Structure 1
């Protein structure tokens, strides 16, 4: 390895994904250096996120597409460092091209509903027949075995089934959907972990395998890190609103100009809170001296904090708590958070650029939030136009000549 090389350099990933869960997985692989060939259906206009508002073009941001030149901000963020080719996989000629690509590839990633890839003739079994060392990552709502009904899933469906909607909000309030599409973002993280693990196995044994990730399983597994079933059996609340009594003092508290988050479950942190409030004697009060005692008097303790924070600004509260060693932070709006100099400086959030017009709309997107001491990582190529690399990939990877490519295009396979 040369200093500055990306760790997945030389790996070829065939990207059959659309929308968010799959494309985020392949975005991460691209940021780690893999050559990601994004395969899009020309009959449907390609990845569905190509039609997500807002759009960025020569005139900046707009909510509707004003010209063919405008590109979805979603796609601009999710398709960086990928090459786009078009294949209508409902045609046998296109499936043949895909399987030719599989012979040269290391990884296939798809996020079809369970069984769809097999019906198309491009599932794991078909890919393994032409390349026994292929790693085939499938991200679906419920896993490769499918689920009752349609078996199709969107983020909100998975949030509903996972129980997550009943972990946020006040105890008697309606279910709360997590604003971030957390199921769509969590499943691809596990898929990438699976792909990287399978790459290690291929290097050791030469044997490829399927990596099967369920959105429901990923999110429910994450939820189960907290013992919600035990809380229910013990009569403890599973929904606690803006405070968490079993860790008191812990939660969000009002300030004169917004809100602050405070996390002080240990005796040391709690004593720091009491000193910051100017009431150090509360650390010896029998109601608040130990963690269990604080939990038993959480309502009173949090009411005291409400009164104290409500008379001060966010900056004042955070500064005095930090002085006494207490973890605390202002509660920021998304637009404020993504312009934080720390995450910007580390490349964890970056400016997005239109492939032709640059950063004309001051739009932000994800960087690669992994930093290596020796390797490089990140995104340096813009999102591609639909099918922009079709001819180049077929020529350089597969060795097809111009006549063959022209024939495929005329037949509707490309």
Structure 2
């Protein structure tokens, strides 16, 4: 067991692909004893193939131990229940019916460990008309309305460039499990924590959802422009493009001064927030005519001096070379035994007294069989070898 603020917790990780691993990664990064449980042999939908998958796998499954265990084998399930007795958390992202078929659902596990906290991530929820459908990130983006507001008007629906439903579902699962662990300190009892890609994506719709729920307004696509505020969007410069977000009257006035166009403040089309939104195209053209005259960095320097929110538009290489990104240490080094020095994405939160420790590489399948089975269940090397020969692990 490692060190860190969560080192007292043992997490059994039954997750694959992204949403579940995104939840478990929060525990692994902060020092929990995370045991990734895999079927004997390589799992083709989780283990890496090409170079992109290798990089993704190292980021997603860092700081874990890996054991193999055949949950379909009676003795394998018995071993799993023995592990549950020693654990604090189980996290899974199977289709809802799978855990019941395996006999490892929450009600089954709480009989052997009433303190167990059981986290489930699914595509659409644990019950309801869609509950046992296969759920993937892009499907949730479509059903939630996300794709209907992403992209340029008239171009058709557009997915986000990242698996936002997967990642946020993972974060919500982690938050729910943390809440359940805190509640357990009072009640002494575990509970079942449930979230889904669809729920997390609808939560992420935020003000767009509220435009419908309270105002009966169906939001559409607005491209790079903010849906309700102007001028907020992408503007051309002498050497590329930049973002400007001049919400509110005061910031708009500052922007006009920086652009050398104070007359825009008095223009009847742009005098108020609603008017600027109504005349978005005309205002955008006025601003673009002026931003084209200088480079991105020149405008950024001038606007920051006047307190106008703005910034460059970077690719991945440029983003990680940005001085603020470097300062935030969002690229974290790992020493991999075969790949050598690699980097993964850092945590997006820091703690003042208990910083995140050194990161460990993602494990090979079954790499920690002997260590885990010996430490948690007291099995010796001969027993572990015999179980492997029988196809149990």
Q: Provide TM-score, normalisation by structure 1.
A: 0.89
SS in 2 for 1:247: coil
SS in 2 for 1:260: strand
* Alpha-carbon distance between aligned partners in 2 of 1:233 and 1:204, rounded to the nearest angstrom: 42
1:90 maps to 2:69: no
Using the TM superposition, give the Cα deviation of residue 149 of structure 1 relative to its aligned residue in structure 2, in angstroms: 8.3
Q: Is the 8 A contact 2:125 2:131 kept in 1?
A: no
Q: Determine which of 15, 27, 30 is the counterpart of 1:29.
A: 27
Structure 1's unaligned 5+ residue stretches are 56-70
Q: Is the 8 A contact 1:171 1:239 kept in 2?
A: yes
Q: Is the 8 A contact 1:76 1:352 kept in 2?
A: no
Q: Count matched residues.
A: 391
Q: Is the 8 A contact 2:369 2:384 kept in 1?
A: no
Instruction: Identify the range of structure 1 (332-341 vs 246-255) with the bigger mean alpha-carbon deviation.
Output: 332-341
Q: Deviations over 1:49-93 (max 9, x none)?
A: 3224216xxxxxxxxxxxxxxx82221111211000001111111
1:67 — aligned with what? none
2:314 — aligned with what? 332
* Alpha-carbon distance between aligned partners in 2 of 1:230 and 1:11, rounded to the nearest angstrom: 40
Q: Is the 8 A contact 2:149 2:219 kept in 1?
A: no
* Alpha-carbon distance between aligned partners in 2 of 1:125 and 1:149, rounded to the nearest angstrom: 18
* Alpha-carbon distance between aligned partners in 2 of 1:52 and 1:23, rounded to the nearest angstrom: 18
1:61 — aligned with what? none
* Alpha-carbon distance between aligned partners in 1 of 2:348 and 2:375, rounded to the nearest angstrom: 32
Q: Is the 8 A contact 1:231 1:237 kept in 2?
A: no
1:144 — aligned with what? 126
Q: Deviations over 1:260-288 (max 9, x none)?
A: 11111111110011001101232233322
Q: Determine which of 377, 383, 386 is the counterpart of 1:398.
A: 377
1:365 — aligned with what? 344
Q: Deviations over 1:88-128 (max 9, x none)?
A: 11111111111100000000011101121111111111111
Q: Is the 8 A contact 2:334 2:359 kept in 1?
A: no
SS in 2 for 1:72: helix
Q: Determine which of 210, 233, 245 is the counterpart of 1:263.
A: 245
Taking only aligned residues, the RMSD between alpha carbons, in angstroms, comes to: 2.1
Q: Provide TM-score, normalisation by structure 2.
A: 0.94
2:390 — aligned with what? 411
* Alpha-carbon distance between aligned partners in 1 of 2:374 and 2:349, rounded to the nearest angstrom: 34
SS in 1 for 2:35: strand
1:271–1:138 distance in 2 versus 1, CA, 3 Å: same
Q: Determine which of 139, 164, 167 is the counterpart of 2:146.
A: 164
SS in 2 for 1:90: coil
1:252 maps to 2:250: no
**Structure 2 counterparts to residues 174-189 of structure 1, below 5 A:** 174-189=156-171
Q: Determine which of 13, 16, 20 is the counterpart of 2:14.
A: 16
Instruction: Identify the range of structure 1 (147-156 vs 268-277) with the bigger mean alpha-carbon deviation.
Output: 147-156
Q: Is the 8 A contact 1:46 1:386 kept in 2?
A: no
1:62 — aligned with what? none
* Alpha-carbon distance between aligned partners in 2 of 1:200 and 1:215, rounded to the nearest angstrom: 24
